[in-house]
Structure 1
Amino acid sequence: MSRLIVGLGNPGPDYVDTRHNAGFMVLDRLADRLGVGFETEAARALCGEAVLPPDPDADPARLDAEADGADGSPTAVALAKPLAFMNRSGPPVAALLDRYGLGPDALLVVYDDLAIPLGTLRLRGKGSAGGHNGVQSVIEALGSTEFPRLRVGVGNSFPPGGQVDFVLSPFDDAEREAADAGLDEAADAALTFARDGLTAAMNRHNRR
């Protein structure tokens, strides 16, 4: 296995369409594109695996030198949605890295973010949790802030004290087009990361 892409969210039908589950939504879109089902339960997560052919549109000059597809070879990627609730996401992520024999640099964590506009993305190679409890749990479980992450903007139009209700609510009709566009591009960005590496993904997708 070459890459592990993890979407953060809460399990169960009550949370399926909520903003806080943007990470799960991105993973579902990516899995659909790759024809992958989350058919395996391992390390308290639902997992699927795929082998990706090289990206035909990649610019060789912009590929990460360490990217597995940089030499034209296929890339093996695992997709995972932890079954622990958001605030306990870290232990399953750490266990999945152990399961696949990967280091934090091969991990991409995808999650919702209130600090960037609805439908926009930010890819980074390291950083703080930024107040996100799921990311904080991953940081604590890995003992490091140095792992790639993809933030997906879910809006921030809530009154003082309304953050929890806001992230646990679905996108409204006026937001749906922008939200869907952002989730789709986030799936594109995760796929670029898997095939071409973090630098290539940042160059291509950190523009909106």
Structure 2
Amino acid sequence: MKYLIVGLGNIGPEYELTRHNIGFLTLDRLAEKTGADWTSDRLAFKTEIKHKGRTLHLIKPTTYMNLSGKAVNYWMKELNVSKGNILVLVDDVAIPFGKLRMRAKGSSAGHNGLKNIEALCGGQDYPRLRMGIGDDFPKGRQVDYVLGRFTQNEFDELPIMMDKAIEMIFGFCTIGISQTMTQFND
């Protein structure tokens, strides 16, 4: 069984530790824990890991957030992975910091990365792991907030959140999305 695990984020050092890059950060942690090395490939940084007989293709699109669908669409076709075996890790301001929610499908909720994936991959029916970054920003300052760095308290809590997300990724690939949602969703 093959899976495509997509961490959303923006490339470049100015975005490295920002809330918008939580998908990248989580896949970096997963790669580090499994000893996987990233290579620069078509439209993405890519690596591959094995888990309980499954092959997980991890990608971090190099297209910038708003064009993430280009990389997802390319790798979905290149690897011949069905939409049901794709999991997109995405930051979500509508969820409190540290909370995680996996969904089989859903709207973009205004997230430009998800909007582009929907447009280029044929709709909203693909699994996603929504990673809560909270909404502690003044009205009209959402862009500054998501492109801002984590506070020290958030940064201290981040490993716990990312480790739970990694458990959810493995669950998605082994016990399936329904059981994973039941077991882990906050």
- The TM tier, using the shorter chain, reads over 0.9
The offset of 1:36, in angstroms, is: 1.0
Please provide the CA RMSD for this pair. 1.2
1:30 and 1:191 in contact (8 A); partners too: no
Distance 2:180 2:79 in 1: 22
SS in 2 for 1:171: coil
> In the alignment, what sits opposite 1:49?
48
Provide the secondary structure at the position in 2 that maps to 1:108: strand
Structure 1 distance, partners of 2:105, 2:80, is 20
Question: Is the aligned partner of 1:11 residue 2:11?
Answer: yes
1:18, CA displacement in angstroms?
Answer: 0.2
Letter paired with 1:16 = E
Within 5 A, what are the aligned runs for 1:82-97? Answer: 82-97=61-76
Query: TM-score, length-normalised on structure 1?
Result: 0.86
- Pair 1:114-2:114 in alignment: no
**How far is the alpha carbon of 1:108 from its aligned partner?**
0.1
Tell me which structure has the larger Cα radius of gyration: 1
Judge conservation of contact 1:9–1:85 (CA < 8 Å) in 2: yes
- What is the distance in 2 between the residues matched to 1:26 and 1:204? 20
State the alpha-carbon separation in 2 of the partners of residues 50 and 178 from structure 1: 26
User: Partner of 2:118 in structure 1?
Assistant: 139
SS in 2 for 1:10: coil
- Structure 2: gaps spanning 5 or more residues: none
Structure 1: segments with no counterpart, 5+ residues: 54-73
Query: Could you tell me which residue of structure 1 aligns to residue 155 of structure 2?
Result: 176
Structure with higher RCO (Cα < 8 A, 6+ apart): 1
Tell me if structure 2 keeps the 8 A contact 1:124–1:149. yes
1:17-166 alignment runs, 5 A limit = 17-42=17-42, 44-53=43-52, 74-166=53-145
Q: Does 1:202 align with 2:172?
A: no
CA distance in 2, matches of 1:174, 1:92: 33
Q: Retained in 1: the 8 A contact 2:51–2:170?
A: no
SS state at 1:91 partner: helix
The number of residues matched between the two structures is 186
The percent of aligned pairs where both chains have the same amino acid is: 40
